[in-house]
Amino acid sequence: MAILFLLLLSTLLIVSILFSAKRRSLPNRRPPFPPGPKGWPVLGNLPQLGSKPHQTLHSLSQKYGPLLGLRLGHVHVVVASSASTAAMFFRTHDANFSSRPPNSGAEHVAYNYQDLVFAPYGERWRMLRRLCALNLFSAKAMEDFGHVRAGEVARLVWGLKTAQAAVNVGGEVNECATNALSLVLLGRRVFGGRRDEDQAAAEEFKELVVELMKLAGVFNVGDFVHGLGWLDLQGVVSKMKKLHKKMDKYFCKIMEEHKEKDDGNGKASRDVLSIFMKLKDESNEDGGFTDTHIKALLLNLFTAGTDTTSSTVEWALAELIQQPSLMAEAQAEIDSIAGRSRLVSESDLPNLPLLRAIVKETLRLHPSTPLSLPRVAAEGCEIAGYSIPKGATLLVNIWAISRDPSSWPEEPLAFRPERFLAGGFHEGVDVKGGDFELIPFGAGRRICAGMSLGLRMVQFMTATLVHAFDWRLGEAAGKLDMEEAYGLTLRRATPLVAIPVPRLTSQAYPKHAY
C-alpha cells in the first residue's frame, strides 16, 4: 500500500513538473498589470498616498513609468501621468471608461448617483447634461446672461475699491462667482442679503462647499476595502451624511421659496431653476425629471462652478504679484484695448492674447482638479502593452501631465505664459480637451460640462482684477507662500491677502449702479 502511494505521489510530481515546464515554454497570452510599488497587506497602496496624492503619484510615475498600477485595498487602480497615456484612455478607449466607480461621496452627498457628475454613463446622464448645456452653457445662454456676469464683476470691483485695506482675494472672488451663478440659477444673490439670517445662511453655504471639496478629495478606506465600509474608520461617511443633510435642507428651502414666488406672481420666473421645475412638472412620474435631479444639479453647479473658479483666479493673481514686470505687461495690454476710463469687458477678451495665455499657464501649473474624477473600466482591455482588468479605476494625474518635461521641455515648473503666444513652443495649444498635454477640464465624453462658462469667468475676472488695480502685499507679508492644500479642488494652503490699489480713472468705477 505504501509502495502504491509513493508511485502515485511520484506520478503526480512528474506530471506537475511537466505541466509547469509546458506553461513556461508557452508565450504569456495575457499582458501584465502596469508596474507600481508593493503595497501593504489588505490596504494595498492606500497608506502610501500621503496628504497630497497628486504629488505622490507624480513621484511614483517617475520611478515606474507614465502608466502606474496600484492596488488600493481590493481595487485595481491605474494612473495615467503623460499626455500620450491620457490620450489612450480619453480618446482611444473613452467609451470603455465613461462611467464612475462606486464611491461614498456619490452615494451619500450626490443623491446616490442622481447628479450629473457621478451619474452612470447612459440616457439619464445625457438628459442631465443636455439640460445644463441648453440652459447654461450654450453660446446663446452665455450671451443671454453676459450682463449678469458684468454686473457682478462690477460689484466686486466697487467693493474692492472702497475696502481701502488688505482683502482675502479668494473669498471676494468666490462670493462674486457664486452670486453671478445664483442670479442665473435662482434669480437672486446668495451673498449680500440685507437680513442677518440671509447673510448667515450664505456664509454657512460657503463653508459647506469648502467642506464638500475637502471631503471629496479624501481616499476613503471603505470605498476600497470590501467589508470595512460600515466601520467608517476615517469618519468620512459620517461627515458626508451630515453635510448632505444640511445642503439638502438648503436646496429644499430654495425650491419651496421659488415655488411660492412663482405661484404668487401668477407667472414663472425666467431663471434656470424655474425652467427645471417646470420641466419636472411636465415630465412623466415614472422616472422622468424629479426634485432629486434638480437638487443634485444645483449641488453640482454650485460646487463645481464656484470654488474652482475662485481658486484659479486667486492662483493667477498670486503668480502675477510674484512677477511685477509680467503684471505691468498684462495691464498695458488691457489698457491698449479698454483704456483706463472704463472696466474691461467680456467682448475685449478675444483681443487680449497675453491675458488668455496667463490663464492657460495658471490652469497648467495649478489645475483646479489635479486628479481627474475617477472613471471605471466597463470591460477589460489592453493599453500600452498592459492589461487593465474590468472594474479597474482610472485616475489621470492632470497635475503631473502639466509638469511632464516630455510635453513641456522649456522650464516646465516656471510660470511662463509666453509659451502660448505667437512663436512660443506651445502656440495653439488649447485647454478644451483636444491637446492632452493641457487638460485642466478633462477630456472625452466626461469632460467638464461647464468648461465654457468656467473659462469665460476665470478670464473675465482675472482681466478685471489686473486692469482695475495694482496689488500690494502687506509690509509684514514677506515672500508669497505658494504651497498647495489638496482637496478635490487645488486650493492655496495660505489664502492670498493683498491690498487693491485703484489704477483707473474714477469714472471707471460706477458706484451708482451697484
- The per-residue pLDDT for range 337-351, each reduced to its tens digit, is 999 999 999 999 999
C-alpha cell at 7: 508511485
Q: Which residue type, as a one-letter code, is found at position 283?
A: S
Residue 17 lies in a domain: no
Residue 14 lies in a domain: no
Cα–Cα distance measured from residue 511 to residue 501, given in angstroms and rounded to the nearest whole number: 16
C-alpha cell at 103: 464611491
Nearest to 233 by CA among 220, 215, 217: 220
State the Cα angle at 404 between 45 and 34, rounded to 5°.
35
- Quick: pLDDT tens for 460-471: 999 999 999 999
**255, 272, 283, 287 from 278: Cα distances, Å:** 12, 10, 9, 16
Question: How many domains does the chain fold into?
Answer: 1
Longest dimension (CA), the chain: 109
- For 333-371, give the secondary structure using H, E and C: HHHHHHCCCCCCCHHHHHHCHHHHHHHHHHHHHCCCCCE
Q: Is 176 annotated as a binding residue?
A: no
- CA 347, 350, 354, 358 dihedral sign is positive
Work out the average pLDDT over 84-108: 97
Nearest to 34 by CA among 80, 72, 73: 80
Nearest to 427 by CA among 417, 436, 441, 440: 417
Lookup result for grid cell 502687506: 474
Q: What is the pLDDT of residue 23?
A: 38
Helices (H), 217-323: 221-224, 236-265, 272-282, 291-304, 307-322
Residue 314 lies in a domain: yes
Q: What is the pLDDT of residue 266?
A: 52
- Quick: pLDDT tens for 382-439: 999 999 999 999 999 999 999 999 999 999 999 999 999 999 999 999 999 999 999 9
Quick one: residue 442, left, alpha or beta (phi over 0 = left, psi -120 to 50 = alpha)?
Answer: left
What percentage of the chain carries pLDDT values higher than 70?
Answer: 90
Element (H, E) at 168: strand 167-168
Residue 296 lies in a domain: yes
Torsion angle defined by CA atoms of residues 385, 386, 392 and 393, in that order, rounded to the nearest 10 degrees: -70
Element (H, E) at 174: helix 169-186
Residue 398 lies in a domain: yes
Q: Assess whether pLDDT exceeds 60 at residue 203.
A: yes
Q: Assess whether pLDDT exceeds 60 at residue 34.
A: yes
Residue 375 lies in a domain: yes
Residue 9 lies in a domain: no
Residue 1 lies in a domain: no
Angle between helices 291-304 and 123-132 (to 10 degrees): 60
- Quick: pLDDT tens for 285-336: 555 899 999 999 999 999 988 889 999 999 999 999 999 999 999 999 999 9
Cα–Cα distance measured from residue 118 to residue 108, given in angstroms and rounded to the nearest whole number: 12
Going by the DSSP 8-state scheme, the letter that residue 108 receives in this structure is H
Lookup result for grid cell 451619500: 108
Domain assignment of residue 283, given as a range: 46-513
- Residue 11: pLDDT band with limits 50, 70, 90: very low
Give the CATH number of the domain where residue 313 resides. 1.10.630.10
Average pLDDT for the chain: 90
